[in-house]
Amino acid sequence: MLELWPHCGYQLLEPDDDDCLKITDAFLRAYWERPEVAPIEESCSAELTLHRELVGNPRRTVIDQDFATFADPDAVENYRVVLDFRDRLVAAGTIESAYLRLFREGAVTIPPIFIDQMAQILARHIIGSSRDPFRARAAELLFREQQASLMDGAILLGDKETVNILGVQSEKNGGFGAMGELLVEGGIRPRQVELDVLLEDTAAERYWPENEKFDTVLDLTFARPGLDALCRVLELWVHHLLQAEVNIQPVPQINDERWVWHIGLDVEATALLNDLYEAKDIDEARLENVLSLFSLEFKDPSLMRPDIAGRPVYLALCRSDDGRVRMKPQNLVINLPLAPKS
């Protein structure tokens, strides 16, 4: 069976009795192989020694004295960043706990790349053994920025980094930018590197074999498989992190006189929903950036705050003016109106 995102670090973790992913030495050790801290030819003996000891014991306590004879101050800073993240992981015990603590504590100080890595691992965990390529592709929104395009009424999302590499949004060289120049010079026709839209009859064979290339396009148009898959992924996300079963469905508009709660799934969506809730005038350009609206309902209303139990929570996903889609999945787990724990 083809593995989903085989290099994301998921296989280095172990589920505990609650199906949460325990932090292992193997997982921590992988961070000391990252290029930011891996030794280079110019590394001094003190750096080489500390690195060797951390690889041998990735939970080793590190004190200021360990950096006293480091020749490169940038190396010290890189080590401190990774150590801070490592200490958070060790203190939390599981990826789930580390992720939730990070956002519940307020100020987020770790690099975005580490947040995305945790989100990817959690996304891999909730996908589990499912072989649905639409769910796997939709789950990429939890940790990878997308580029949205509107074409003939369809809402298409391509991986932003891949789009940039292939240059498919550029007007140069027939739409392939600098990479297109290299491809043409190399004798490769542009059509051979176009991103493919996932279609029901070919999605599995197109997505799974090289799923870490992040080179497929997700159709998020209303009533198509991609949007349904995103709803199911978000349901799994909430259930795993909050132990709350919810039902999420796309809706064409919000027409609710008793609208009481909403959550934006990105920065633009948060601002838009706030303005809609306050009945402010919204210009047409902002409305055109709405990719989808959703209604979220708790299967057990007693899990909600008593004053709004049973009411739907409205969600929105938007693109920025330049077409970027940067989902913040943490919004779903820190902003839902949960009942206070007794």
Domain ranges of the chain: 10-127, 133-219, 225-334
Q: Which residue has the tokens 């027409």?
A: 255
Instruction: Tell me whether residue 267 is exposed, middle or buried, using C-beta atoms within 10 angstroms of its C-beta: 0 to 12, 13 to 18, 19 or more.
Output: middle
The candidate with the shortest Cα–Cα distance to 118, out of 90, 87, 147, 97, is 97
Q: How far apart are CA 12 and CA 25, in angstroms?
A: 9
- For the cut 80, the answer to whether the pLDDT of residue 320 exceeds it is yes
pLDDT tens-digit readout, 40-83: 999 999 999 999 999 999 999 999 999 999 999 999 999 999 99
Element (H, E) at 285: helix 284-288
Integer CA distances (angstroms), 282 to 80, 290, 317, in order? 45, 12, 16
pTM, whole model, 2 decimals?
0.91
pLDDT tens-digit readout, 186-223: 333 444 446 889 999 999 999 999 999 999 999 999 99
Share above pLDDT 70 across residues of the chain, in percent, rounded to a whole number:
92
Q: How far apart are CA 330 and CA 10, in angstroms?
A: 19
Q: How far apart are CA 19 and CA 28, in angstroms?
A: 19
Share above pLDDT 90 across residues of the chain, in percent, rounded to a whole number:
86
Q: Is 263:335 a contact under the CB 8 Å cutoff?
A: yes
How many C-beta neighbours within 10 Å does residue 292 have? 20
pLDDT tens-digit readout, 108-154: 889 999 999 999 999 999 999 999 999 999 999 999 999 999 888 89
Mean confidence (pLDDT) of the chain: 91
Confidence of residue 1 (pLDDT cuts 50, 70, 90): low
- For the cut 90, the answer to whether the pLDDT of residue 172 exceeds it is no
